[in-house]
Amino acid sequence: MSARRRRLGVTALAVVAPVLVWLAADPLLGHRLRITDGEQTLDVGALPVALVALLASLAGWGVLAALERLGVRRARAVWTGVALAVLALSFLPLTGEGMDGGTRAALALMHLVVAAVLIPGLRTKDAAAAPRASTAS
């Protein structure tokens, strides 16, 4: 399987994973995910969850591909560090007000499942592209 095809599959899984969390929290458990900012209330739905996960996945893939294409030494290790830093920063909005504990927990879990799919999935080296050891006769 090509690296592009494998990374496309990882991206698709990273989009589906937080939607499954949303399905468990909102329709199944009946906890409406809402964020309130003053008088405005934002209902967090499946489509925005999927779109944000897709954008994050494509951005992560793009950064990794750019690092690899530029020949950055240890590109995957650098990318992993950047991805972990972005994950940590993604929790900052969850520390604010305007959401209850259930919404905060569901959103945090969505961030974690996207990272749990993307970080190991995108950084894995393609077995077909790995250098092969020559066999001595």
Q: Tell me: the pLDDT tens digits for 54-97? A: 999 999 999 999 999 999 999 999 999 999 999 999 999 999 89
Tokens representing 45?
């739905």
**DSSP 3-state assignment of 124?**
coil
Among 62, 42, 57, which Cα is nearest to 107's? 42
With a cut of 80, say whether residue 130 has pLDDT above it. Answer: no
- Averaged pLDDT, 104-125: 94
pTM of the model: 0.86
> What pLDDT does residue 89 have?
97
Phi, psi of 43 (to 5 degrees): -85, 125
Which is more confidently placed, 1 or 31? 31
**Mean pLDDT estimate for the chain:** 90
With a cut of 70, say whether residue 137 has pLDDT above it. Answer: no
Q: How many whole angstroms separate alpha carbon 10 and alpha carbon 90? A: 20
